[in-house]
């Protein structure tokens, strides 16, 4: 097992006359046995990063180390890495058994009986023991994915690299496989780098998440750290579903001033925002409170009348879309998440509360976070 270090790694593709900077000076250290998820929108450089780690792509600048060993110029087959792709990449003419054993047969001198023993062991771990004699065409998508994972696991590598391995599965199977993969990784203790564009996979599976945008690393941290303390607007918007609400406005005399509302800041936020003029107020949908009549007026400076435009019942919760009275610009809507048992009627007028300890403030010019919501993560964890 090993740690993995990306040290100022850059990849520039020469595309005709044009240079494309796919990965821009990325540094991150992945600890031994850690599960790191690289997440970002399509085209942000995730696969290129993974392919450089795998040795399938040259590195333009910087260094990649597996443990203490620099692997920039080490051939893929000598890196002791196993990859799992979205496309499974199984050999169609070989049985599941041979698909799993093939790599071992090629790369080791293990006797056939030892290889078969390992294949059986891994197949049992993956729940596919009774499918080993089928060819990929006779297996469902989920079963093929298990074979592809089995093929990676059987090699007992120093590092797993996974590129969107669950994208081809239906939603229910994907959720099941998320849990299984995570358990498997813990059990095997193999350092893992997992690429996805899906923030839910990043949040639920990882020890830490690295968020990338346009080839640049935006933030690396534990899921809840990114969720509650995003470094910038990009991370704040990317992590969390539904997305954080953002309002553009200005900072005037200790208040956030928006076209449709004003939000007075207390001394803490005032201190943090000091100096900025063009700012963005952020509030997560689950922190927007749709007030019961009895609670209206408890914090009048931070309460607003809004129209309920759409209610999406999810069962456990309602996603409530709200607009400021007199506006029909949907980009200025606010989304709130309420309990599924709470009745909120479409077309009604509601009073909503934005508690001051839950707001985020960003500098609109740089995108940097100026103030994060107030939360003592340690205290929260201890209470659990
Ligand atoms: P992601 O995996 O996040 O979707 P990629 O790593 O595949 O993104 O691509 C990052 C950027 O590099 C994109 O702008 C893409 O168009 C560009 N790119 C990827 N491969 C090549 C290539 N072989 N030649 C030129 N540009 C490439």
Which atom of ligand 1 lies closest to the CA of 163?
A: 2
Domain ranges of the chain: 4-233, 244-371
User: Are residues 229 and 244 in contact, defined by beta-carbon separation less than 8 angstroms?
Assistant: no
SS3 assignment, position 65: strand
Residue 249 Cα to ligand 1 middle (Å): 35
| pLDDT for residue 374 | 83
pLDDT of 112 strictly over 60: yes
The two three-digit tokens of residue 141, written as one number: 């998508």
Please report the pLDDT score of residue 379 as a whole number: 55
If one compares 92 and 85, the residue with the highest pLDDT of the two is 92
Distance linking the first and last C-alpha atoms of the chain: 32
Give Cα separations from 313 to 243, 286, 319 (angstroms). 17, 14, 6
Please name the residue whose Cα sits nearest to atom 5 of ligand 1.
45
d(CA 188, CA 56): 25
**Count of helix runs (H) and strand runs (E) in the chain:** 10, 21
> Which protein residue's CA is at the shortest distance from atom 10 of ligand 1?
45
- Predicted pLDDT at 173: 86
42 C-alpha to ligand 1 centroid (Å):
9
Share of the chain above pLDDT 90, in %: 77
Q: Which CATH superfamily is domain 244-371 in?
A: Nucleic acid-binding proteins (2.40.50.140)
Burial 290-303 (b: 16+ CB within 10 A, else e): bbeeeeeeeeeebb
Give pTM, 2 decimals.
0.92
Ligand 1 centroid distance, CA of 45 (Å) = 6
Q: What separation in angstroms does the CA of 242 have from each of 37, 285, 337, 348?
A: 20, 7, 9, 22
pLDDT at 380: 54
Q: CA 161 to CA 83: how far, in whole Å?
A: 5
50 CA closest ligand 1 atom index:
6
Query: Residue 296: CA atoms inside 13 Å, Cβ hemisphere, count?
Result: 10
Fold of domain 4-233: Rossmann fold (3.40.50)
Pocket probe for ligand 1: among 17, 22, 87, 234, the residue whose CB has the most ligand atoms within 8 Å is 22
Q: Which residues of 334-346 are buried (b: 16+ CB within 10 A; e: fewer)?
A: bbbbbeeeeebee
* pLDDT score of 360: 97
127 by DSSP, 3-state: which?
A: coil
**Best probe residue, ligand 1, of 45, 53, 56, 214 (max atoms within 8 Å of C-beta):** 45
What mean pLDDT do residues 161-187 have? 89
Specify the 3-state DSSP secondary structure of 139: coil
pLDDT band for position 382 (cuts 50, 70, 90):
very low
Instruction: Express each pLDDT in 251-306 by its tens digit.
Output: 999 999 999 999 999 999 999 998 899 999 999 999 999 999 899 999 999 999 99
Among the listed residues 197, 194, 190, the one whose alpha carbon sits nearest the alpha carbon of residue 205: 194
H or E element at residue 136: none
- What is the average per-residue pLDDT within 244-248? 97
- Mean pLDDT over 337-360 rounds to 94
The predicted structure's pLDDT at residue 110: 86
- Give pLDDT tens digits for 2-46: 899 999 999 999 988 899 999 999 999 999 999 999 999 999 999
Chain centroid, CA 8 distance in Å: 22
Which pLDDT does position 384 carry in this prediction? 39
Residue 168: its pLDDT value, please?
83
Region 120-131: mean pLDDT is 91
pLDDT at 138 over 90: yes
**Which protein residue has the closest C-alpha to ligand 1 atom 2?**
47
The pair of structure tokens assigned to 235 is 């991370």
Ligand 1 atom showing the smallest separation from residue 215 Cα = 10
Q: Which residues pair with 248 in a beta bridge?
A: 280
Q: How far is the CA of 57 from the centre of ligand 1 (A)?
A: 11
Question: What number of CA atoms fall less than 13 Å from residue 114's CA on the CB side?
Answer: 7
Q: Which residues line ligand 1 (CB under 6 A)?
A: 13, 15, 20, 22, 40, 42-48
The total number of residues written for the chain in this structure: 384
The average confidence (pLDDT) of the chain is: 92
pLDDT range class, residue 332, cuts 50, 70, 90: confident
Q: Which residue has the higher pLDDT, 375 or 207?
A: 207
Longest CA span, the chain: 78
**Taking the CA of residue 78 as centre, how many other CA atoms within 13 Å lie in the half-sphere pointing to its CB?**
7
Q: Given ligand 1 and candidates 14, 16, 19, 20, which is best to mutate, with the most ligand atoms within 8 Å of its CB?
A: 20
């Amino acid at each position: 097992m090993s740690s993995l270090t990306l040290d100022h790694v850059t990849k520039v593709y020469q595309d005709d006359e044009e240079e494309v900077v796919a990965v821009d000076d990325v540094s991150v250290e992945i600890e031994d046995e850690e599960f790191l998820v690289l997440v970002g929108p399509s085209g942000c450089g995730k696969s290129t990063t993974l392919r450089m780690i795998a040795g399938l792509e040259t590195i333009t600048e910087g260094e990649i180390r597996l443990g203490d060993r620099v692997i920039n110029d080490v051939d893929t087959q000598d890196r002791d890495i196993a990859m799992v792709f979205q496309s499974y990449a199984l050999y169609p003419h070989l049985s599941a058994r041979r698909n799993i054993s093939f790599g071992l047969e090629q790369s080791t001198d293990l006797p056939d009986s030892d290889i078969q023993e390992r294949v059986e062991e891994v197949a049992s771990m993956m729940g596919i023991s009774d499918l080993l004699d089928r060819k990929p065409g006779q297996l469902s998508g989920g079963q093929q994915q298990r074979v592809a994972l089995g093929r990676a696991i059987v090699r007992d590598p120093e590092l797993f690299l996974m590129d969107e391995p669950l994208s081809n599965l239906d939603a229910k199977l994907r959720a099941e496989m998320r849990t299984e993969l995570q358990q498997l990784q813990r059990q095997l203790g193999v350092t893992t780098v997992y690429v996805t564009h899906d923030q839910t996979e990043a949040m639920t599976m990882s020890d830490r998440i690295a968020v990338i945008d346009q080839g640049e690393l935006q933030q690396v941290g534990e899921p809840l750290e990114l969720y509650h303390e995003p470094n910038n607007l990009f991370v704040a918007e990317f992590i969390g579903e539904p997305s954080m609400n953002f309002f553009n406005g200005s900072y005037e005399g200790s208040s956030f001033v928006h076209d449709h509302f004003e939000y007075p800041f207390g001394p803490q936020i005032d201190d943090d925002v000091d100096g900025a003029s063009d700012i963005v107020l952020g509030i997560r949908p689950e922190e927007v409170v749709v007030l019961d009549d009895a609670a209206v007026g408890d914090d009048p400076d931070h309460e607003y009348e809004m129209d309920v435009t759409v209610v999406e019942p999810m069962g456990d919760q309602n996603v409530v879309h709200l607009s400021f009275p007199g506006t029909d610009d949907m980009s200025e809507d606010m989304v709130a998440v309420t309990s599924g048992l709470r009745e909120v009627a479409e077309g009604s007028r509601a009073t909503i509360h934005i508690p001051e300890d839950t707001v985020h403030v960003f500098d609109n010019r740089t995108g940097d976070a100026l103030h994060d919501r107030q939360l003592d993560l340690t205290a929260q964890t201890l209470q659990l």
